[in-house]
Amino acid sequence: MKKKVVAVHWRDIHFHDDWREDEELSTDVPVFITFGVKVKGGDPLVVASVVAPDSPERRYGDVTKIPKGCIVKVVELDTIEVNK
What mean pLDDT do residues 8-31 have? 85
pLDDT greater than 90 at residue 24 = no
What one-letter code names the amino acid at 45? L
* Side-chain half-sphere CA neighbours of 84 within 13 A: 0
Q: What is the mean pLDDT of the chain?
A: 89
Confidence of residue 84 (pLDDT cuts 50, 70, 90): low
Domain range list for the chain:
2-15+27-81
What span, in angstroms and rounded, lies between the C-alpha atoms of 6 and 36? 6
Q: Computed from CA positions of residues 52, 60, 73, 15, in that sequence, does the dihedral angle turn out positive or negative?
A: negative
Q: Specify the pLDDT at position 32.
A: 95
User: Average pLDDT for residues 41-61, to the nearest whole number?
Assistant: 88
Cβ atoms of 28 and 56 closer than 8 Å = no
Give mean pLDDT, residues 18-36: 86
Residue type, 19: W
Task: Provide the whole-model pTM.
Answer: 0.83
